[in-house]
Structure 1
Amino acid sequence: MNAAPGVVAVALVTVLTLAIGTWGLRVSRTTSDFLVASRSVNPRLNATAIGGEYLSAASFLGVAGLVLAFGADMLWYPVGWTAGYLVLLVLVAAPLRRSGAYTLPDFAEARFGSSPVRSVCSALVVLIGLLYLFPQFQGAGLTLRSAVGAPLWVGPVMVALVVLANVASGGMRSITLVQAFQYWLKLWALLLPAAVLGAVWLADGRPGATDTTSTLAWSAPLASGGGQGLYLTYSLILATFLGTMGLPHVVVRFYTNPDGRAARRTTLVVLVLLGVFYLLPPVYGALGRVYAAELAASGRTDALVLELPRLMVPGLWGEVLTGLVTAGAFAAFLSTSSGLAIAVAGVLSQDVTGRPWRGRRLSGVTAFRLGAVLAVLLPAVAALGAPNVGVARAVGLAFAVAASTFCPLLLLGIWWPRLTDVGAIAGLAAGGLGSGTAVVLTLTGGPRSGWAAALVEQPAAWSVPLAFATMAVASLATASRVPPHTRRFMVRLHTPEALPLDRG
């Protein structure tokens, strides 16, 4: 294996990322700059940045590996990840921006006037963010090992250092431009090799695919039929459709838009950008079923995108194509990790590092930077200590937890005025503990077969309804606790900015 193209690719991505990120160091001065780029990001730039951060390790490498091992049935993953933005567009994007919040805990406190609700939301943002960050660092280690033969610890360390440098230096202003650049890098890093590999396939005249079965390291496959398979499929769809709106790094980007109309336009552009990107990983999966059956047989489906160019195009050009996809994969880890670090650091800076300690309070920017250090180092250390947890499995579980907690909180908080603080906390606890327990059991080797395994591997089908029902029942039982400002706040959420709310 010639490691030079991969080394050059990673070096170029790192240098360009840091160079673009330094721009934010010159213009980011206030806390608002660091948290939401002073709410001045236009829809097209914001949508491209969202595409950059949303297309993570599971998108770039995992989908192709899933198709390689299990065929077209695995396309439910990208369909769900994209369609989640449709739900976000219709129900959440504009009202959430009009709330005026910086973070999800800010929205919860403004909606309910309750510090306990805010504290619960803060804890969930940190937990979901760390659960999602962990596979990004782990995937970076796997990518550099496959592409350049580096030890597993090199990837997490490099990603952690680059992300920390960008996030701590310029906050959201830096990361917005970096993520927009990284979306286009990831798109072309898949598109150009796919075009070449498709031409090679046509020239070879190899029409069929070999049968591939394997145990995946990157994902828990859906069952192959029967009641359990049907349950797992619908549970996965529910988690991916509803989990998007609860992901902290996705939601925080809508606070950067100037107004609710811009937030809707942003979401519409995101749907187009994700739809274009997700056309490409299945191409690699289909070609892999023709040329790389041995990867599925050996359980190394996670390496398909990185190794397929060498298998199909021997020699120098194969190495060049490998360097290109390596650059895209490394950009995927950097962009998603940056968005998650921003979201987690924002919450930590408001509720942990920004609180007075021994009579002293850190400035907003300093508290944010300290929060960024914690947000990056904790999952990086976890990735070094547990390098064998499946990447897409961890990402899928993060979606399930988000769908079981923040999804019902946002939907009911925005559209149901009778939701109370007690109902919100009860629902967050029910959905969070239910899906969180499933996460722990899955990652620690819980039930391996039968309905118990199905319910644990894909908990959304029961944990999401549980959270909604608990919030509704507890709120109706505590109707007297509806905040007195609820009607005014609901009007603010649903009134277009062009209409005046108060003339007197």
Structure 2
Amino acid sequence: MVHATHVPGLVAVVTVSLVTLAIGIWGLRISRTTSDFFVASRTVGPRLNASAIGGEYLSAASFLGIAGLLLVGGADMLWYPVGWTAGYLVLLVLVAAPLRRSGAYTLPDFAQARLSSKAVRTACSVLVVAIGWLYLIPQFEGAGFTLRAAIGAPEWAGPVVVAAVVLANVSSGGMRSVTFVQAFQYWLKLTAILFPAAVLVIVWLGDGRPTSPTTGDGWSVPVASGGAGLYATYSLILALFLGTMGLPHVVVRFYTNPDGRGARRTTVAVLALLGLFYLWPPVYAALGRVYGGRILAEGRHNVLVLELPRAMLDGLGAELLTGLVTAGAFAAFLSTSSGLAIAVSGVISQDVTGRWLGGFGESRGVAAFRLAAVVSVGVPLAVALVAQNIGVAESVGLAFAVAASTFGPLLVLGIWWRGLTAAGALAGLAAGGLGAGGAAVLSIAGVSPTGWGGALLSQPAAWSVPLAVVVMVSVSRLTAHRAPAHAQQFLVRLHTPEWLDLPTR
């Protein structure tokens, strides 16, 4: 039987799920071709695309994890939202427009077109799937503890509901359908975090502006002091700044823009939308230091955003605000999971299920994509149901480290250096992927040594990114005679504005 205090949360979850499915079903009416499913036929304008990117990028780690990390770790954890936003500035300067001009559908498509190597394509496909699944697992886990905190549901219910809704949406309309879903969910998430924060600040002002009785030394210090702590901070910054450009579900959205100029305008708009959202999690963390003593004492910092309204208010007002933030959190799981499922499904359908079904005519291409969607959602769902108590923001941070150590160097060197060879790319991907990926697997498995060992394992980017770059460049120079003959021509295509191709009048 549903408790009365759970009704607003239950209504929020059901409403968000039904609206998401309704928009997805509407998108099915205009999704017909393989291009619709993969890249929305490259017709998404900058404003819509920016909202959709904001929707899929603001994951469980953004909506729930940042406030919890700030509550526990203090100002040093502000590097998470700063890095996640600044990553788009790096992407804008180095990658966005050239990547769109490549004409690729996926990262493996780009790698094969640039290096003419099926081996590099296969390695990229494996990495896309690995990063996508590493990012999906915390989304499913976050859905589990959100439903448990909001409506008292069992731990497995959240992952199953999110997986079912995402699979229905992705399978029905692909990228074209999901674009509208994610754009709607960005604005829902912004409303769901902004309005309750404003109300809670008013409550705090009405209480006489009390201060935190539990603020410890160093809580307001933005950079950890000395040794392993300082290393971990700068390694995290490197992972977040460079990891954004290597995230498959982020990169694939730039293929949906009509041209390179649209990709740049999209990126600028995304910076504004993310900056607006990330103003608010620190507000929850600051109020949590004052009113969230029980939440902190019980080690439930991941649900601070969900439980703070009940800690500061009583009665119907508290339950309505809880319902609203629950709706935002659930939208975060759905939108990010949808983007990841699209990216992983696109790769699996091209390299696995498409071959099983014997080619890529329109009907077979759509069927291969839908079969791949089942695999892309089902595997991380199974892992999330078995492996619990994985830190949401920490797991996402590891996904960024893997992306920064693999696709980051590949994209930058592939776009800006004609000397990159297939052998160099493979060696660099192996070095960065095995280094950062191995650290991620050990961390998720619970291996956590103290001191420098723990810092190197939990934040590998500071050594895995330079390792990947050095290996990629060194092996490319040693195999310079095997550089693709079309490399110079391909780079000219990447860096030539589209308007130069128009006839002069």
Specify the TM-score bucket, using the shorter chain as the normaliser. Answer: over 0.9
- Report sequence identity in percent: 71
Q: State the alpha-carbon separation in 2 of the partners of residues 104 and 40 from structure 1.
A: 19
Q: CA deviation at 1:357?
A: 5.9
Counterpart of 2:296?
Answer: 296
- Equivalent positions of 1:58-207 (< 5 A) are 58-207=61-210
1:236 partner letter: L
Is the CA contact 1:246–1:405 (under 8 Å) kept in the aligned structure 2? yes
Change (3 A) 1:148 1:238: same
Counterpart of 1:209?
Answer: 212
RMSD (Å), alpha carbons: 1.7
Counterpart of 2:481?
Answer: 480
1:405 matched to 2:396: no
Counterpart of 1:492?
Answer: 493
Counterpart of 1:310?
Answer: 310
Q: CA deviation at 1:154?
A: 0.5
Q: State the alpha-carbon separation in 1 of the partners of residues 102 and 434 from structure 2.
A: 28
- Equivalent positions of 1:101-500 (< 5 A) are 101-211=104-214, 224-356=224-356, 363-500=364-501
1:296-332 Cα offsets, whole Å, 9 max, x none, are 1221001100000011111001100000000000000
Is the CA contact 2:354–2:360 (under 8 Å) kept in the aligned structure 1? no
Change (3 A) 1:44 1:52: same
Counterpart of 1:9?
Answer: 12
Q: CA deviation at 1:223?
A: 9.2
Is the CA contact 2:140–2:162 (under 8 Å) kept in the aligned structure 1? yes
1:240 partner letter: L
Q: CA deviation at 1:501?
A: 8.7
Q: State the alpha-carbon separation in 1 of the partners of residues 49 and 224 from structure 2.
A: 39
1:321-355 Cα offsets, whole Å, 9 max, x none, are 00000000000000000000000000000001001
Gaps of 5+ in 2: none
Q: State the alpha-carbon separation in 1 of the partners of residues 34 and 357 from structure 2.
A: 19
Change (3 A) 1:196 1:142: same
TM-score, normalised with respect to structure 1: 0.96
1:26 matched to 2:29: yes
Change (3 A) 1:223 1:276: closer
Is the CA contact 1:70–1:212 (under 8 Å) kept in the aligned structure 2? no
Change (3 A) 1:195 1:478: same
1:132-165 Cα offsets, whole Å, 9 max, x none, are 0011011000100000000001000100010000
2:137 partner letter: F
Q: CA deviation at 1:55?
A: 0.2
1:315 partner letter: G
Match of 1:484, SS?
Answer: coil
Q: Which of the numbers 38, 42, 47 marks the counterpart of 2:41?
A: 38
Is the CA contact 1:222–1:232 (under 8 Å) kept in the aligned structure 2? no
Q: CA deviation at 1:247?
A: 0.3
Q: State the alpha-carbon separation in 2 of the partners of residues 359 and 315 from structure 1.
A: 59
Q: Which moved more, 1:263-272 or 1:201-210?
A: 201-210
Q: CA deviation at 1:210?
A: 2.6
Is the CA contact 1:243–1:402 (under 8 Å) kept in the aligned structure 2? yes
Change (3 A) 1:384 1:447: closer
Is the CA contact 1:68–1:212 (under 8 Å) kept in the aligned structure 2? no
Is the CA contact 1:212–1:293 (under 8 Å) kept in the aligned structure 2? no
Is the CA contact 2:108–2:122 (under 8 Å) kept in the aligned structure 1? yes
Q: CA deviation at 1:389?
A: 1.5
TM-score, normalised with respect to structure 2: 0.96
Q: CA deviation at 1:358?
A: 8.2
Q: State the alpha-carbon separation in 2 of the partners of residues 107 and 483 from structure 1.
A: 14
Q: State the alpha-carbon separation in 1 of the partners of residues 136 and 503 from structure 2.
A: 43
Is the CA contact 1:97–1:263 (under 8 Å) kept in the aligned structure 2? yes
Q: State the alpha-carbon separation in 2 of the partners of residues 208 and 241 from structure 1.
A: 33
Change (3 A) 1:485 1:360: closer
1:105-124 Cα offsets, whole Å, 9 max, x none, are 00000000110000000000
Is the CA contact 1:222–1:233 (under 8 Å) kept in the aligned structure 2? no
Is the CA contact 1:212–1:297 (under 8 Å) kept in the aligned structure 2? no
Q: State the alpha-carbon separation in 1 of the partners of residues 360 and 135 from structure 2.
A: 33
2:346 partner letter: G
Match of 1:304, SS?
Answer: helix
Is the CA contact 1:284–1:305 (under 8 Å) kept in the aligned structure 2? yes
Q: State the alpha-carbon separation in 1 of the partners of residues 215 and 243 from structure 2.
A: 30
Q: State the alpha-carbon separation in 1 of the partners of residues 23 and 448 from structure 2.
A: 46
1:162 partner letter: V
Q: Provide the aligned length of Structure 1 versus Structure 2.
A: 496
Is the CA contact 1:132–1:395 (under 8 Å) kept in the aligned structure 2? yes
1:451-482 Cα offsets, whole Å, 9 max, x none, are 11110000000000000000000000000011
Q: State the alpha-carbon separation in 2 of the partners of residues 104 and 212 from structure 1.
A: 45
Match of 1:41, SS?
Answer: coil
Gaps of 5+ in 1: 214-220
Match of 1:491, SS?
Answer: helix
Match of 1:353, SS?
Answer: helix
Q: CA deviation at 1:356?
A: 4.0
Q: State the alpha-carbon separation in 2 of the partners of residues 329 and 114 from structure 1.
A: 41
Q: Which moved more, 1:61-70 or 1:94-103?
A: 61-70
Q: CA deviation at 1:224?
A: 4.8
Q: State the alpha-carbon separation in 2 of the partners of residues 135 and 387 from structure 1.
A: 9
Change (3 A) 1:466 1:12: same
Q: CA deviation at 1:359?
A: 9.7
Match of 2:377, SS?
Answer: helix
